[in-house]
Amino acid sequence: MLRFVLRRFFETFPVILAAVTLTFFLIRLAPGGPFTDEKSYPEEALRQLHRHYGLDAPLLVQYARYLGQALRGDLGPSLKYPNRTVAEIIAEGFPVSLELGLWALLYAVVIGLAAGLAAALRPQRWTDHAVMAAAMVGICLPSFVLGPLLVLLFALRLPLFNAAGWLTAGDRLLPAVSLGAAYAAYIARLTRGSMLEVLPQDYIRTARAKGVGPLRLLAVHALRNALPPVVSFLGPAAAGLITGSFVVETVFHIPGLGRMFVAAAFNRDYWLLLGLVVFYAALIVLFNTLVDLLLAWLDPRVRTAR
């Protein structure tokens, strides 16, 4: 297990390096620049700005400088937010995105597991058909459509929640549902399929014949052996929920990293965009590693193979 953790740790660097390299050169191919806006700067002022931020050097030199700074933990300054570093912006916005992602993950896991169990316990009945139909709608309905619909229904027509903001506890509900609905649908389908494979097994019938109660039979004997496919999905899901909230944060005006990423892309804020890519890539690798460890704990066969 220790060898596996160390191997995944060292595999992180090529992944992050590839993400940074692609992002560095792709954003430079986009038209415009960080100082291209509605007001025109004098030529001398532009030269001073480029010299101050190191943008006057050749592209490969800038790339090498950035890699050296990033390895030392310095993600550079923001080109659009004076007197603020990229690390400060990440430290300010990440707690909000993390909270939103955790609420969405909690919603997806609870609703998805409950719906999947309800469908698996009554297969080919109206409960099963209703759950699978709702799951299909959740998969097909993207967050940029579901979010405005929830705002229209529960904030404008029925003024139960605020249409935007991140101040009260109620402000968490609509964004979490918008972000976690599709993942809840996937978890429901995975749970149903796994439970339908586990419930007819011999050890389930043996445990039932020995008088094991329904709740213990479901929670201890069936659900634990049906969880590995769901847990495998939770790694990319958790990373996607925390790093993929760009649209939801924009729709609900949430001051998280998702909005900052979109703003950095529009503003050509090179160092902020690169810093967010590095941070998101590290998060994705971390979540996938944690899920692999959880799978090894749930299934001894995975532990032995690795």
The per-residue pLDDT for range 160-171, each reduced to its tens digit, is 888 888 888 888
At residue 111, the pLDDT reads 93
Judge whether 184 lies within some domain: yes
Task: Count CB-CB contacts under 10 A for residue 165.
Answer: 13
Judge whether 4 lies within some domain: no
Judge whether 1 lies within some domain: no
Judge whether 24 lies within some domain: no
The torsion angle over the Cα atoms of residues 232, 238, 239 and 242, rounded to 10 degrees, is 170
The torsion angle over the Cα atoms of residues 163, 166, 167 and 173, rounded to 10 degrees, is 70
At residue 107, the pLDDT reads 92
At residue 244, the pLDDT reads 66
The span from the CA of 295 to the CA of 300, in Å, is 9
Instruction: Tell me how long the chain is.
Output: 306
Judge whether 179 lies within some domain: yes
pLDDT tens, 54-101?
A: 888 888 898 998 888 888 888 888 888 878 888 898 898 889 988 998
At residue 39, the pLDDT reads 61
AA identity, residue 133: A
The torsion angle over the Cα atoms of residues 249, 250, 255 and 259, rounded to 10 degrees, is 100
Angle between helices 257-267 and 270-298 (to 10 degrees): 140
Judge whether 283 lies within some domain: yes
At residue 300, the pLDDT reads 61
At residue 292, the pLDDT reads 74
pLDDT tens, 257-281?
A: 888 888 888 888 888 888 888 888 8
Q: Give CA separation, 248 vs 17, 68, 116, 179, 258, in Å.
A: 28, 34, 26, 7, 8
Whole-angstrom distance between the N-terminal and C-terminal Cα of the chain? 7
Domain of 201, CATH number, reads: 1.10.3720.10
Judge whether 65 lies within some domain: no
Q: How many domains does the chain have?
A: 1
Judge whether 77 lies within some domain: no
Write out the residue range of the structural domain in which residue 265 sits: 89-305
Report CA 99 to chain centroid distance, whole Å: 11
Q: Which residues of the chain are modeled with pLDDT < 50?
A: none
At residue 40, the pLDDT reads 67
The span from the CA of 172 to the CA of 181, in Å, is 14
